[in-house]
């Protein structure tokens, strides 16, 4: 498999990093903001708001970037707004970036939900569909046109979801005038999290020389003591010419080098990349320094973890050793910020993950910020990387336009995340209507495409469909199943969990003979609600649900169950509805990241699992060490 990697040519999307040849200027902070709340939701285009300063078109407010705009003000209409919102900011561009024609100046948006159009000084420079992946555009020639005018960046963002977007949604106009005023419409969504919107991740300008390292792809493996880093560098703006590639260890010592744009670097006495709790030195990263030697030099440094991933009919192997996923599902979600990127939240979440002994998470239900994956690389947290294919329920969302967009999104996702050692599997969807007839062609095409993009990682999608009716399961490498026994059906009947869960596993394994991850399970608990015997929504009920699942996992993990991911790490916001009390309360932490009782149950379990399943390389004394450090 490893030898047959097909190098598809896509323009690169390397994470912007400073280097001797590259500068980065963050544009985070306050932007001017205005929502287009005209009845036809189109006045901003009719009046060409991008042509002048936003403040000259009407009243603007301060809006932090990055952040969702929804929870920033006291205005319920803005919280629930559907349509175009406009962001604008003037930027002072360093004079040298303008005077030096040999400098590329790139504007990059980490993510904006959902559809974005970008203008610089009133000139449209790019647009992007999709709310969770970065996009960028070179703006050097534009800002050089008139170096005396400031650089005015305008970004219009529209959060409307339709049957062909990912995730899909539907807009319905309500015609009954006895109930709804003229123009009243509803955005229907088929997923269980608030459709937060705005500029969610950092916006920045960065430079490269005219001839620059555009993309790097690495695929790693090892043979005995030697690490193998197969790589390919692509250069834009000049013929590739001579380049130099140097792989350095953590101490900055060169361990392998080459002057070819592609090849295999061999690292003697390799330090492999290991997951957290599987090794005493997890998340080991080398640095790959890539230099071009065309008149102006460029340099880019890529962190590289050397590891292998493989799947058998009963196991998930990392570096040829069985890996058991004991982890969580997350959301990018918090008070006030919504889905806005926030380092304090990210670092807190990693501290909580490590505290509870989680070795993995799934990026339910969309790609997370690249900075989060970088943290995973460094801390050895294993990731199932999910695309925004959540809520594909309407048969029209299995059509050609939807599929074409889904394939594009997978291109963008793999291009962005292919080099992260923490990413061990792609998830192409969550709970699609995989029993519908078109699901077979849809998933066969989608999964084959993903494997063509990246033959080195297994591919899955997350099912809640019946094993007998699921159309896509033949194509996945790992079966991922969500189930909510004693919650959404047989409510209150905790005693049924062992029987139903056991049957779930036996049926799926019996039919497909593929390893299984319990990709979601859980129950809502309103923190502080107690009842014994347990009733739904109390902390006790959540605990018993977890423990009942765990007893079955403990039998099946000896056979073919390769992981368990709790739904959810933390409480999160949803649309208002009868089954949600200020959001989804299935978190084992509150939205403010305080533990419910269930967090301690998971912590005890995960550390025990780590000692049992992840003992590789840890001498017995180290196990003792964990037990002493975490006396549950
Ligand atoms: C699911 C979904 C997830 C929901 C969860 C729930 O199956 O994948 O997005 O939030 O159930 O709590 O209902």
pLDDT given for residue 294 in this prediction: 78
Beta bridge partners of 244: 291
pLDDT digits (tens, 9 = 90+) for 26-43: 999 999 999 999 989 999
Sheet of strand 286-292: strand arrangement: 254-258, 243-248, 286-292, 298-304
Q: Is the CB of 482 under 6 A from ligand 1?
A: yes
Q: Average pLDDT over the chain, rounded to whole?
A: 95
**Segment among 235-244, 260-269, 337-346 with least mean pLDDT:** 235-244
CA gap 269, 281 in Å, rounded:
15
Question: How many helices (H) and strands (E) are present in the chain, helices listed first?
Answer: 12, 32
CA gap 319, 324 in Å, rounded:
13
**Quick one: CA torsion of 102, 103, 104, 106, rounded to 10 degrees?**
-170
CA gap 190, 170 in Å, rounded:
9
User: Whose CA is closest to 282, among 311, 305, 300, 314?
Assistant: 305
End-to-end CA distance of the chain: 43
Ligand 1 nearest-atom number relative to CA 462: 8
Q: Is the CB of 221 under 6 A from ligand 1?
A: no
- Residue ranges, CATH 3.20.20.80, the chain: 310-612
DSSP E strand boundaries for 464-602: 479-482, 516-520, 561-566
What's this model's pTM, rounded to 2 decimal places? 0.96
pLDDT digits (tens, 9 = 90+) for 94-137: 999 999 999 999 999 999 999 999 999 999 999 999 999 999 99
**Quick one: CA torsion of 2, 7, 12, 18, rounded to 10 degrees?**
40
Q: Is the CB of 567 under 6 A from ligand 1?
A: yes
Q: Which CATH number fits domain 23-159+195-209: 3.40.50.150, 2.60.120.260, 3.90.1150.10, 1.10.10.10?
A: 2.60.120.260
Q: Please, how many CA atoms are within 13 Å of residue 326, restricted to the half-sphere of its CB?
A: 29
- Residue ranges, CATH 2.60.40.10, the chain: 212-307
Catalytic pick from 136, 332, 412, 431? 431
The 3-state secondary structure of 591-623, one letter per residue: CCCCECHHHHHHHHHHHHHHHHHCCCCCCHHHH
**Distances 567 to 221, 327, 360, 391, 546 between C-alpha atoms, Å:** 33, 10, 13, 17, 10
pLDDT digits (tens, 9 = 90+) for 171-187: 999 999 999 999 999 99
Backbone φ and ψ for 233, nearest 5 degrees, come out as -110, 135
pLDDT given for residue 10 in this prediction: 64
The residues, ordered by sequence, that sit 6+ positions from 549 with a Cβ below 8 Å of its Cβ are 497, 501, 518, 521, 564
Cβ pair 246, 284 in contact under 8 A: no
CA gap 52, 45 in Å, rounded:
12
Can you tell me which residue has the tokens 């991850």? 517
pLDDT given for residue 149 in this prediction: 84
Cβ pair 66, 109 in contact under 8 A: no
Beta bridge partners of 129: 115
- The protein residue with its alpha carbon nearest to ligand 1, atom 3, reads 192
431 is catalytic: yes
To test the pocket of ligand 1, the residue of 167, 190, 192, 573 to mutate (highest count of ligand atoms within 8 Å of its CB) is 192
Return the CATH fold of 310-612: TIM Barrel (3.20.20)
CA gap 304, 247 in Å, rounded:
9
pLDDT digits (tens, 9 = 90+) for 294-305: 777 999 999 999
Ligand 1 nearest-atom number relative to CA 522: 12
pLDDT digits (tens, 9 = 90+) for 568-627: 999 999 999 999 999 999 999 999 999 999 999 999 999 999 999 876 544 444 433 333
The C-alpha R_g of the chain, in whole angstroms, comes to 25
**Residue 629 pLDDT > 50, yes or no?**
no
User: Whose CA is closest to 352, among 587, 613, 572, 524?
Assistant: 587
- The protein residue with its alpha carbon nearest to ligand 1, atom 7, reads 482
Q: Spell out the alpha helix ranges (H) of 28-75.
A: 43-46
CA gap 29, 496 in Å, rounded:
52
- Residue ranges, CATH 2.60.120.260, the chain: 23-159+195-209
CA gap 448, 302 in Å, rounded:
28
Architecture label for domain 212-307: Sandwich (2.60)
CA gap 160, 144 in Å, rounded:
35
- The protein residue with its alpha carbon nearest to ligand 1, atom 4, reads 192
The strand pair at 325-329 and 561-566 is best described as parallel
pLDDT digits (tens, 9 = 90+) for 473-491: 999 999 999 999 999 999 9
Can you tell me which residue has the tokens 């608030």? 194
């Amino acid at each position: 498999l490893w030898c047959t990697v097909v190098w598809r040519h896509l323009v690169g999307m390397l994470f912007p990093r400073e280097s001797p040849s590259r500068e980065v200027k963050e544009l985070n902070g306050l932007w001017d903001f205005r929502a287009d709340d005209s009845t036809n939701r189109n006045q901003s285009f009719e009046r060409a708001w991008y042509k002048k300063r936003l403040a000259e078109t009407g009243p603007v407010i301060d809006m932090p970037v990055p952040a969702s705009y929804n929870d920033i003000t006291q205005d319920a209409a803005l919280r629930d707004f559907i349509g175009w919102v406009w962001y604008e900011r003037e930027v002072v561009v360093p004079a040298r970036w303008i005077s030096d024609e040999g400098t590329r100046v790139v504007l990059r948006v980490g993510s904006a939900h959902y559809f974005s159009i970008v203008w610089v000084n009133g000139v449209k420079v790019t647009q992007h569909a999709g709310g969770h992946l970065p996009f960028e555009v070179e703006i050097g020639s534009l800002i050089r046109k008139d170096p005396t005018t400031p650089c005015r960046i305008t970004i219009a963002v529209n959060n409307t979801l339709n049957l062909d977007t990912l995730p899909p949604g539907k807009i319905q106009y309500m015609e009954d005038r006895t109930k709804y005023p003229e123009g009243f419409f509803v955005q229907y969504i088929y997923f269980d999290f608030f459709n937060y919107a705005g500029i969610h991740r950092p916006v920045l300008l960065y430079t490269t020389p005219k001839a620059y390292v555009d993309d790097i792809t690495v695929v790693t493996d090892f043979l005995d003591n030697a690490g193998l880093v197969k790589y390919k560098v692509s250069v834009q703006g000049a013929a590739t010419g001579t380049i130099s590639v140097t792989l350095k260890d953590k101490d900055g010592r060169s361990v392998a080098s080459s002057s070819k744009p592609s090849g295999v670097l061999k690292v003697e006495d390799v330090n492999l990349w290991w997951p957290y709790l599987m090794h005493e030195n997890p998340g080991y990263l080398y640095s790959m320094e890539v230099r071009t030697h065309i008149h102006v030099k460029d340099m880019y440094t890529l962190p590289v973890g050397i590891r292998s991933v493989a799947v058998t009919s009963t196991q998930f192997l990392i570096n040829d050793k069985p890996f058991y996923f004991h982890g969580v599902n997350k959301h990018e979600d918090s008070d006030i910020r919504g889905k806005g990127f926030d380092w304090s939240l990210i670092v807190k979440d990693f501290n909580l993950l490590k505290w509870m002994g989680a070795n993995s998470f799934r990026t339910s239900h969309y790609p997370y910020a690249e900075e989060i994956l970088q943290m995973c690389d460094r801390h050895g947290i294993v990731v199932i990387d999910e695309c925004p294919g959540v809520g594909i329920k309407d048969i029209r969302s299995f059509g050609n336009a939807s599929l074409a967009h889904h394939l594009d999104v997978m291109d963008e996702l793999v291009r962005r995340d292919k080099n992260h050692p923490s990413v061990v599997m792609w998830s192409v969807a969550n709970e699609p209507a995989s029993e519908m007839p078109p699901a077979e062609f849809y998933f066969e095409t989608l999964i084959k495409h993903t494997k063509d993009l990246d033959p080195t990682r297994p591919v899955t999608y997350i099912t809640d469909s019946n094993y007998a009716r699921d159309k896509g399961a033949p194509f996945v490498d790992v079966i991922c199943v969500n189930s909510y026994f004693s919650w959404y059906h047989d409510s209150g009947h905790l005693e049924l969990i062992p029987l139903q869960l056991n049957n779930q596993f036996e049926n799926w394994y019996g039919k497909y003979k593929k390893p299984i991850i319990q990709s979601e399970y859980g129950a809502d608990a309103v923190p502080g609600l107690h009842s014994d015997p347990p009733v739904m929504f109390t902390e006790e009920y959540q605990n018993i649900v977890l423990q009942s699942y765990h007893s079955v996992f403990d039998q099946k993990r000896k056979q073919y169950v390769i992981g368990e991911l709790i739904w959810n790490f933390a409480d999160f916001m949803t649309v208002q509805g009868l089954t949600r009390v200020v959001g989804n309360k299935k978190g084992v932490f509150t939205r403010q990241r305080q533990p419910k009782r269930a967090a301690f149950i998971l912590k005890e379990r995960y550390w025990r699992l780590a000692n049992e399943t992840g003992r590789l390389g840890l001498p017995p004394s180290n196990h003792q060490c964990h037990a002493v450090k975490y006396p549950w």
